[in-house]
Each structure stands twice: as structure tokens, then as C-alpha cells.
Amino acid sequence: STCPSPFLAFKMDMDHSCDFSESDVEHEDIPPDPALQEICGSEVNTEFSKDMSEVTTVSTMTSFEKVSQGINHVEGGWAKMINADDTEVTARYKKKYLKDEHCQHTVMETASVMEHCNQCKDAEDCFPDLKDEKGVQEMEYEPSARIISMLRDPNKVKRTATSLSWHPLDYHKLAVAYSCLEFQRAPKNMSFDSYIWNIEICNKPEMTLKPISPLVCLEYNHKDTHILIGGSYNGQIGYWDTRSGSQPVQMSATEHSHKDPVYKVIWLQTKIGTETFSASTDGQVLFWDIRNMNEPTKRLVLDPSKKGNRENALGAVSMEFENSMVRAKFLVGTEQGLVVSCNRKLETTDDPIVCMYSGHHGPIYALQRNPFFPKNFLTVADWTARIWSEDIKESSIISSKYHMTYLLDGCWSPVRPSVFFTVKMDGTLDVWDILFKPKDPILNLKVCDEALYSIRVRDKDSLVCCGSQLGTVRLLKMSPDLCTLQKNEKALVSEMFERETKREKILEGQYRERHQMKHSSSVEDEGGKDDMEELLAYTEREFFETVEAEKKKIKDEEKERRSGMFCFQV
């Protein structure tokens, strides 16, 4: 129903006078919602209204004038007796004010608040902006992983999956090398075969590789993806062409090969794509051309004395060469816990060993440069994983905590510069994010009960494959936050590496200074010791000379006394 109610409206004319008039306004009665009435349990009455007024305003445009004026800020400014234009007076006043305890306390409190805000902002910049419907930024960093499939060794006698290599183009193919690394403990009926798997068909391998000796390492050629190079347990090098069958196309001659198992082979990214080099525990790095495998093209002996003596050579376990780097250097991880930086151009240098990095207590099983920052590289050995800078040789810039079990392999994430993976002897996979937790892993996953010997990450995404001691390769799918580049991550990691490198340089300089001071003080102590010994010897000689002189004097006096007594008696 509608009910007319009296209502007043006023108007302002050009002369700013008010004109009141009376008009009628109709109000509508809105009945309650039945659903709300059932919930409330009582009748909702809306039959009430207020008298409203309608206003019509008409005004004339008047001109106005803008005036700019200043204001004198007294609070927080200079004192009344201080002339702000006098630099000498203001400098003395600032110096006096900064010495005030209240001022120092206030500055310290403000600095702590600013530092906390900056840290919070840096932590927020690590992650992309995720906004909900209201525009609030939220990010939950909860890394996780799950096993999606397994590739089992089809042989009855199980062997260790010692090496893994993803196909450069076909991301469904994975080459796995199988071998028994326990010296002289391999069963007689153990198979020598290695396999190429299609991860979508896990029941049986797609292709079999039949070497003369079990393969310890295996790598795809990025130039010609049909070719694989493999290093055998007996020290020979061979390559396969998947178009030619399971037998090796060519093997290296035994007399010119390694004398120990070949633990690492790397392809050189040249125009031809046929050059490779290998590393073994016999202390040699051999360069090969697969077009002629009779003998190596170059030979490098890892002798720290740089004399080329194999008896003093360091056994090579891992190796790293970044093909995108202009510098012709490669890194070799040794059994003795040293990383040796070598020059690849042996024919143009008389000093192939550039420098050495020391810091581990056991064999370095994994060695890899950061794909985004090649000057920094990762090493996995003994109970720790360490990140190094080429500019610091005495110590690593970042190191993990010491674990209870051995670390056997590790690698960087191809999509995130702050993430790397490690596997341990207890069958555990650890995922690290140095921006989030430099000392502890952000994800610890128990993959199996036996030891994990190898790990590789697919370049396309973060699909991780882990090879175990019993020859089972497990494929793990990482959560999206582990395989997505975060906001400002490159800049933050670069800043972190530079900061830690600078810190280690300062510590290294202080260590050298203390060492020189100790050395100089020891030399001074030795010189002072010699002077003291000479003084003691001189004093001893003078003492005994004085004693002898006194004895002689006493004897002479005794003789004179006796002669005088004899004369008196006569």
C-alpha cells in the first residue's frame, strides 16, 4: 500500500533566496523475505518510514584567487638559538645531539624496526604475488614430492643404478647404467647390460646396451641425440648409436684406456660434436674423438706437484665442464676430497692444473656448476653439501650441516637457481632452498630402504629420478613451487653469492694476516732464543773464568804464605 505524506522541498534561486513548497511523495511497503522469516522465527515488520526532503540547489559560479603561503615547522627542526644558515653552528649542534644517549637509543630502535621491515620485504619478494578476489597477497610455501613410477632392473641379480641421463629432446627417454661398484664382489652370473627406458612404459626397457664390461657412467650426446658415450668398469670407453643396435659402435683400446673404472664422461659442445673426455680413479683425464677410439687425443695426469707422475696422482671420481663458459676450464672432484681446476687447452699451456679447492674429508661424488651462475658450483661428499665460488679457494661460501649418513650424489635444479637436490645412503632425498634455509633441507623424503646412488632432474620440469643400490629407478614429481621460478629469485641468489663471497674474502684476509703475524713472532722468538742462549753461554764462560781466577789467586796467596812461614822458621 502507499501512503502520501507531506514533505517540504526548498529551492535556492539565483539570489540565494529559499523557496519552500509542498509536494507529495509515495512510499512503498516491502514485505519480509519468507526464508529470512523462517530463520529468525519472528515476523519482520518494515512498515515504517521517515520524512525525507528533496533539495534542489542552484548556485552561481564565483571566482576565487589562489595564494601560496609557507609554514614554519617548529617541532623537530632546529632550536631557536641555532641559525640554520650557519653550517659551522649546525655541524656542532648535530655532533652534540648525536652524542646524546636518548638520540642513540631512538636511532637504534628505529634501525631495528627498519631492518625487520626490509627482511620481511625480501622474504615476500622471493615469492610471486598471489592475490585473491580481495587483492590480498598470500603465499604458502609447502614443498612436497610423490613417487609416480618405478623402473626395475629386469635381471635376477640386481645391480646398482650408477648413472642416469635424460634424452636431450625426447623427455620420455631415460638411459640408465648398471654396475656393481663393490670391488671384486660382483657375482659371476651378473649381467653387463644397461638400458634405455621409456618412462611411460615401465614394464620393460625400450632398448638394451651390451657393453664388454659393466657401465659405470653413460651420457647422451646433445649434438646427435642417437649417440651415447659410456665408461666401463674395466676402464674402457665406448659409444653406441641407437640406430645401429645394442652393440657398441667402437670401443677404446685396452692398452690406451684407463686402468681403473671410469666414473665420469662428458661431451664437449663443439661444431662436430664428436669430442669427449673421461675421468677415472687411476688419476688420469683422457680426451677422445669417437671417430678414432684407438688412443686418446690428450692425456692429463692429476699430479699436485705438476710433474705428471701417476704415482702421486689424485683419483678422479666426478667432473664438471660448463660448455657455455668462454673459459677453457673444467673441474675434477677427487677421492682425496679436493676439487682440481684444470685447463682444457693442454697444448697451449705448461701448467694444466690451475688451482685446487680443499674442504671435504672424503671422495667428491657430485660436482656441478649452478646453471644460472657458473662461477658458483656444488660439491657433494662425505656428510655435507657445499657451494663454492671460483674466487675463494680455502673454503666454501655456503655449507650444509653434517648429516648422520653419507651423501652419495646431488644436482642443481634446472629452473630455480636457489634449489638443489641430494641423496643419501639411508635412501633419503633432500631438497634444499638456500634462500629459505641455507643449513637445513626444506623437504626430507624417505624414498626407499636401500642407498640412493644417483639423481638427475629433467630439464623440461622438475621431474626427479633417483637410482638405488638394487637397481630401481624411482620417478618423483615435485610440487609446483619447486619447479617454478619465483619473483626476484635470480637477483636475490646473486646478491647472496656476492655477499657470502665477500665475507669469505674478508675472513681469508684476516686468517692470512694472523698466520703472518704468528710466523713473524715465531721467527722473532727463535731469534730471541738464540740471543738468550748466547748470553747464557757467555755468562757461563765468564763465571767459570772468574772461578778459575779466584782459585789461582787463592793458590798463589797460599804459596806465598807458606814461603813466608818457611823463611821465619829458618
Query: How open is the CA angle 219-202-468, to the nearest 5 degrees?
Result: 60
Enter the pTM of the model. Answer: 0.66
Give first-to-last CA distance, the chain, whole Å: 176
Mean model confidence pLDDT for the chain: 81
Select, from the ranges 70-84, 314-328, 361-375, the one with the highest average predicted confidence (pLDDT).
361-375
What are the φ and ψ backbone dihedral angles of 187, each rounded to 5 degrees? -65, 155
Please give the pLDDT value at position 136: 33
> What is the b/e burial string over 301-318, where b = at least 16 CB atoms within 10 angstroms of the residue's CB?
bbbeeeeeeeeebbbbbb
User: How many CB atoms neighbour CB 135 within 10 A?
Assistant: 7
User: How many CB atoms neighbour CB 178 within 10 A?
Assistant: 26
pLDDT of residue 326 exceeding 90, the answer is no
Confidence bin at 177 (pLDDT 50/70/90): very high
> Cβ(278)–Cβ(288) under 8 Å?
yes
Residues 6+ apart with CB under 8 A from 148: 475, 476, 477
Please give the pLDDT value at position 27: 59
For 338-360, write each residue's pLDDT tens digit.
999 988 877 666 678 888 998 89
* Average pLDDT estimate for 199-221: 93
Please give the pLDDT value at position 189: 86
Please give the pLDDT value at position 542: 85
Cell triple for residue 108? 637504534
Confidence bin at 210 (pLDDT 50/70/90): very high
* Average pLDDT estimate for 278-289: 94
Select, from the ranges 146-150, 523-527, 530-534, the one with the highest average predicted confidence (pLDDT).
146-150
User: How many CB atoms neighbour CB 280 within 10 A?
Assistant: 24
> Cβ(166)–Cβ(456) under 8 Å?
yes
Please give the pLDDT value at position 408: 95
Tell how strand 54-57 and strand 5-12 pair up: parallel
CA distance 248 to 267: 17
Cell triple for residue 48? 515504517
For 1-23, write each residue's pLDDT tens digit.
444 444 434 444 444 455 556 65
* Average pLDDT estimate for 506-525: 72
pLDDT of residue 58 exceeding 70, the answer is no
Please give the pLDDT value at position 33: 73
Please give the pLDDT value at position 568: 47
CA distance 436 to 143: 11
* Average pLDDT estimate for 125-149: 59
The fold of 145-509 is: Methylamine Dehydrogenase; Chain H (2.130.10)
What are the φ and ψ backbone dihedral angles of 395, each rounded to 5 degrees? -155, 160
Please give the pLDDT value at position 527: 57
CA distance 347 to 298: 9
What are the φ and ψ backbone dihedral angles of 510, each rounded to 5 degrees? -65, -40
pLDDT of residue 265 exceeding 90, the answer is yes
pLDDT of residue 494 exceeding 70, the answer is yes
> Cβ(355)–Cβ(308) under 8 Å?
no
For 380-413, write each residue's pLDDT tens digit.
999 999 999 998 888 899 999 999 999 999 999 9
**101-125 and 87-98 helices, crossing angle to 10°:** 80
> Cβ(137)–Cβ(129) under 8 Å?
yes
For 26-52, write each residue's pLDDT tens digit.
656 677 777 766 655 544 444 444 555
Q: How far is CA 153 from CA 238, 464, 470, in A?
A: 22, 18, 8
Look up residue 323 and give its DSSP letter.
Answer: T
> Cβ(454)–Cβ(177) under 8 Å?
no
Residues 6+ apart with CB under 8 A from 526: none
Select, from the ranges 18-32, 78-92, 204-218, 479-493, the one with the highest average predicted confidence (pLDDT).
204-218
* Average pLDDT estimate for 250-278: 92
Domain locations along the chain: 5-57, 93-125, 145-509
Residues 6+ apart with CB under 8 A from 36: 44
Please give the pLDDT value at position 350: 67
Q: Pick the range with the lowest mean pLDDT from 43-47, 111-115, 156-160, 166-170.
A: 43-47
* Average pLDDT estimate for 216-228: 94
pLDDT of residue 164 exceeding 80, the answer is yes
Tell how strand 275-280 and strand 194-198 pair up: unpaired
Residues 6+ apart with CB under 8 A from 477: 145, 146, 148, 462, 463
pLDDT of residue 255 exceeding 80, the answer is yes
DSSP, collapsed to helix, strand or coil, labels residue 421 as strand
Burial (Cβ within 10 Å: 0-12, 13-18, ≥19) of residue 289: middle
Residue from 497, 450, 455 nearest 478 by CA: 455
Amino acid residing at 538 = Y
Tell how strand 329-334 and strand 316-320 pair up: antiparallel
Cell triple for residue 458? 629433467
